[in-house]
Structure 1
Amino acid sequence: MPATRYPELNVSGSPRQLGEQIGEALREQLRGFCDIALERVRKTTRISREAAHRVAAAALPLAEEYSPDSIAELRGTADASGVSLLDLMLLQVRNQLRDEPDHACTSLSFGPPFTPQRLLAQNWDADPALDPFTVVLTRRPTNKPAFTTLTQAGLIAYIGGSTSGIGVCLNALPAPSRFAPDGMFEPPLAGAWGVPHYFTVREIYEARSLEAAATAVRRATRAIPASIMLTTPEGPANLEVTPAAVCVQTSSETGIVVHTNHCLEPELTPFNTQFPELIQSCARLSRVQTMLGQVRGTLTTPAAIALLQSILRDHSDYPRSLCRHVNDDPQHGFWQTVFSVIIAPETGEMLIARGTPCDQRYETYAMG
């Protein structure tokens, strides 16, 4: 994997102008990601392009009703890049086409009293084939907060932070999906009916508080479950999201919130016995908690960043570790830590290691 910085792009203006600038600048990455996205879905799910396009087409009016500005941006991207709108929508719904999640992550959010500056971090464990299509993209929409995401080209939103003090990391959460009406799609397209997840993430970046962020998710007809780790002006938080519930988890006493890839909210924990554990999720959570349990007192910001880097580089139970490497697991052995990121909204910076953080340095990127 290349040990270099990710490409960076800044766009500004109306929704359509944002899309046009993205389409012109990232034309090749968009086409490449569209070409590979369905291929990667087919690693675990049998699906035709025609069936996938039917899901994308069904999601389009739902997404447009929920966030018309986001669809206006995608239309601009499609026109400027020559990539069809349905193919761009396919990127947004691809995680709804699988029988299982397409990535696993370990995420943490720090804030007072644990450390004075709010920090958010995660390892993104997924398919390294997606690295060439990953960029650091800053959008400055007219009359809305600017935000920067570490994202694959074409996604309407992904991991990052905003000028309103919101930071977002994303974890897969094995739990029920929303089922399509009978006969709408042939199997295995059962969990594909609703507003695609990335559109709700986009609305979170436009929020200015934890309550507004949670409301942005609650007002969507949600298609799939997800864990959304946040830093907000009120402090660290995590949203455990299913089609039926949005549970807000905070920790005002400790200033620490940690999540991997299983449900922690009491009303959702029964799902942990119904769905297979995703690449040692419980063991990863336990390891992070053990490392945090060794820390005493309040940390300075540099010490907190060093701690986060130490956790994200940890090799306990290597190669199935927090810093994950290719291994012999028959299902997920090709997954590895594709990038590691630490987000500091108060200083407008992201620290990103492109590749496994044990052997790649964290580089600083400006946000917003």
Structure 2
Amino acid sequence: MNSFTPFPLIEISGPPRARGRSYGEQGRERIGKSVALYRDSLRRLGCADADIKRYIDVLLPETTRWAPDLVEEMEGIAEGSGNPLSNIVLINARTEVLQLAKREKQIADTEADGCTGAVVLPRATRDGKLLHAQNWDWKTDCAETSVVLHIRREDGPDILTFTEAGGLARSGFNSAGISITANYLESDRDYGRLGIPLPFIRRRALETPHFALALRIVATTPKSGSNNMMIGTSEGFAVDLECAPDEAFPIFPERDMIVHANHWLSATALAKLKETGLAEVPDSLYRDQRVRSMLQAGHGDITMADLKTALSDDFASPYCVCRPPLEKDDGNLSATVAMILIEPSAGSMMIAPLPAINRTFTQYRLTMDIERARHAA
């Protein structure tokens, strides 16, 4: 396995089914690997195919009502990649499906989807531009199952997003200058009811031409489990939303930046719910502090190189900001799968696979046209 191969770029356009079919055809091999990865994970949990279908059938109806066009796009992905629709839904609802399986079978969750994210506002940067970045910590195999998706749209901003192959969106930005990253969170409110799978929410946020509309989608869409989503705009601001399934708690920049790992920071949130995720990500308690302190030292002169350095921190390795491949007690191999560096105003996203052992970045570009994006919508 050559894990240092750059993530392939897939460009799609047209109506939902057509762009989905193109996506499926171009990403067929990696989509197949994505499907195998999560079906194998579920089988190791003791799930039969009938169980997997049952979980998907529970999630799909409300998702279809909320975003019929995105379900149609998934149908196209299924056709283009030679998969049943259920496999594409599994990729996009893998967090929810895995959690439903573990809770039903009373299996402890040892696979927290980690991440350390940061947004730096223009007043803190050398060039006066907003910078947004993230380390995505998850299964090491995802270095071979992820892609960069460039979506050309006629009815809104174009999108550039890093995602698992077959996925609708993960981290990225749009041609209106809106950027998003996401981090794992957990609380005692999780899975009391089912909501919209997270990739759908991130995709909808990236489809919006205005910062306020992206915030509304993230803050108000019902979710199955907790999640943290950081939304920035090239206009020079950012808000972090710590989301319980039924409520969102905003965190605003302090000293012109936001840094977030995988534990709740909002005092209001902690007064209303119980943090339940730290057993699996205790390193979260220092990862965000390490990155924040390194960035604050350069306040007013921060560059993307500084963000790269901060997110490469190996303090307390292997439980560090930039994690090398690590085999967990359950046999799963996890790591920082990708470091993602976004400068929305420049239309630039740079990504390195497995950055703890590989520092080669590939640049992906998006043509920025804020006025066209806003009027197209």
- What's the TM-score once normalised by structure 2's chain length? 0.87
Shift of 1:72: 1.3
- Structure 2 letter corresponding to 1:119: L
- Structure 2 letter corresponding to 1:70: L
Instruction: Report whether the alignment pairs 1:110 with 2:120.
Output: yes
Q: Which deviates more, 210-219 or 66-75?
A: 210-219
Q: What is the alpha-carbon distance in structure 2 between the residues aligned to residue 40 and residue 257 of structure 1?
A: 34
Identity of aligned residues (%): 26
Give the gaps of 5 or more residues in structure 1. Answer: 181-192
On the 8 A contact 1:33/1:133 being kept in 2, the answer is yes
Match in the other structure for 1:258: 259
User: SS of the counterpart of 2:265?
Assistant: coil
Q: What is the alpha-carbon distance in structure 2 between the residues aligned to residue 5 and residue 326 of structure 1?
A: 18
Distance verdict in 2 for CA 1:275–1:341, change over 3 Å:
closer
Match in the other structure for 2:312: 313
On the 8 A contact 2:142/2:164 being kept in 1, the answer is yes
Q: What is the alpha-carbon distance in structure 2 between the residues aligned to residue 40 and residue 129 of structure 1?
A: 12
- Structure 1 letter corresponding to 2:32: R
User: SS of the counterpart of 1:164?
Assistant: coil
Q: Which deviates more, 102-111 or 203-212?
A: 203-212
Match in the other structure for 1:221: 222
Match in the other structure for 1:17: 18
- Structure 2 letter corresponding to 1:226: N
On the 8 A contact 1:165/1:345 being kept in 2, the answer is yes
1:6-45 correspondence runs (5 A): 6-41=7-42, 45=45
On the 8 A contact 1:170/1:227 being kept in 2, the answer is yes
Match in the other structure for 1:351: 350
Q: What is the alpha-carbon distance in structure 1 between the residues aligned to residue 147 and residue 237 of structure 2?
A: 27
Q: What is the alpha-carbon distance in structure 1 between the residues aligned to residue 275 and residue 192 of structure 2?
A: 20
- Selected match of 2:141 from 129, 137, 143: 129
Give the gaps of 5 or more residues in structure 2. Answer: 103-108, 368-377
- Selected match of 2:285 from 266, 279, 282: 282
Distance verdict in 2 for CA 1:178–1:327, change over 3 Å:
closer
User: SS of the counterpart of 1:222?
Assistant: coil
Distance verdict in 2 for CA 1:329–1:7, change over 3 Å:
closer
Match in the other structure for 1:150: 162
Match in the other structure for 1:340: 339
Residues paired across the two proteins, number: 350
On the 8 A contact 1:214/1:248 being kept in 2, the answer is no
Shift of 1:172: 0.5
Distance verdict in 2 for CA 1:298–1:334, change over 3 Å:
same
Partner deviation per Cα, 1:53-75 (whole Å, 9 max, x = no partner): 11212222211211121111111
User: SS of the counterpart of 1:346?
Assistant: helix
Match in the other structure for 2:239: 237
On the 8 A contact 1:18/1:141 being kept in 2, the answer is no
Distance verdict in 2 for CA 1:31–1:160, change over 3 Å:
same
Shift of 1:12: 0.7
On the 8 A contact 2:146/2:165 being kept in 1, the answer is yes
Shift of 1:286: 2.0
Q: What is the alpha-carbon distance in structure 2 between the residues aligned to residue 249 and residue 42 of structure 1?
A: 38
Instruction: Report whether the alignment pairs 1:80 with 2:83.
Output: no
1:51-90 correspondence runs (5 A): 51-90=51-90
On the 8 A contact 1:341/1:350 being kept in 2, the answer is yes
Shift of 1:326: 3.2
Runs of 4+ in structure 1 off by over 6 angstroms are none
- Structure 2 letter corresponding to 1:109: V
- What's the TM-score once normalised by structure 1's chain length? 0.89
On the 8 A contact 2:17/2:75 being kept in 1, the answer is yes
On the 8 A contact 1:196/1:222 being kept in 2, the answer is yes
User: SS of the counterpart of 2:147?
Assistant: strand
